[in-house]
């Protein structure tokens, strides 16, 4: 079982729709959770961080964390073509400070 799993996609949504990205993790000791966006040929850019159960909203982005289900998601409202990228779920496990990444979900927002 992979430590961090994401549905690899590709995921396509029409402009203005809600894009839903999902991630599960295997280590119950995981404490910190992140969503990064990576455009082709570029390095990852932090979108959201979430540390406690529930929802966290920042503009068009909402991160949801459910530690009991070991599940974290990212919702993108009013999706724009500029949101087209690969979205990486990352987790910090236990006392370590290293990020463990999922394989990423490629999102395409169709104009």
Partner 1 sequence: GAVVSQHPSWVICKSGTSVKIECRSLDFQATTMFWYRQFPKQSLMLMATSNEGSKATYEQGVEKDKFLINHASLTLSTLTVTSAHPEDSSFYICSAPTVSGEETQYFGPGTRLLVL
Residues that bind partner 1 (CB under 8 A): 31-32, 34, 36, 41-46, 49, 51, 88, 92, 97-104
- Report the relative pairing of strands 85-93 and 30-38 from DSSP bridges: antiparallel
Question: Rounded to whole angstroms, how far apart are CA atoms 36 and 46?
Answer: 4
Nearer to partner 1, 2 or 15 (CB): 2
End-to-end CA distance of the chain: 37
Torsion, Cα of 40, 43, 45, 51 (10° steps): 120
**Rounded least distance, CB 44 to partner 1, Å:** 5
Q: How far is the CB of 101 from partner 1 (least distance, A)?
A: 5
Of the pair 15, 45, the CB lying nearest partner 1 is at 45
- Nearest distance from C-beta of residue 3 to partner 1, angstroms: 11
Give CA–CA dist 60/77, Å, rounded.
Answer: 5
**Which lies closer to partner 1 via its Cβ, residue 28 or residue 42?**
42
């Amino acid at each position: 079982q992979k430590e961090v799993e994401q549905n690899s996609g590709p995921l396509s949504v029409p402009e203005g729709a809600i894009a839903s990205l999902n991630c599960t993790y295997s280590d119950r000791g995981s404490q910190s959770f992140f969503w990064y966006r990576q455009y082709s040929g570029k390095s990852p850019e932090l979108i959201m961080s979430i540390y406690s159960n529930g929802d966290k909203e920042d503009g068009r982005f909402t991160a949801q964390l459910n530690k009991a289900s070991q599940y974290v998601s990212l919702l993108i409202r009013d999706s724009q073509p500029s949101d087209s990228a690969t979205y990486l779920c990352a987790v910090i496990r236990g006392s370590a400070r290293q990020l463990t990444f999922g394989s990423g979900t490629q999102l395409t927002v169709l104009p």
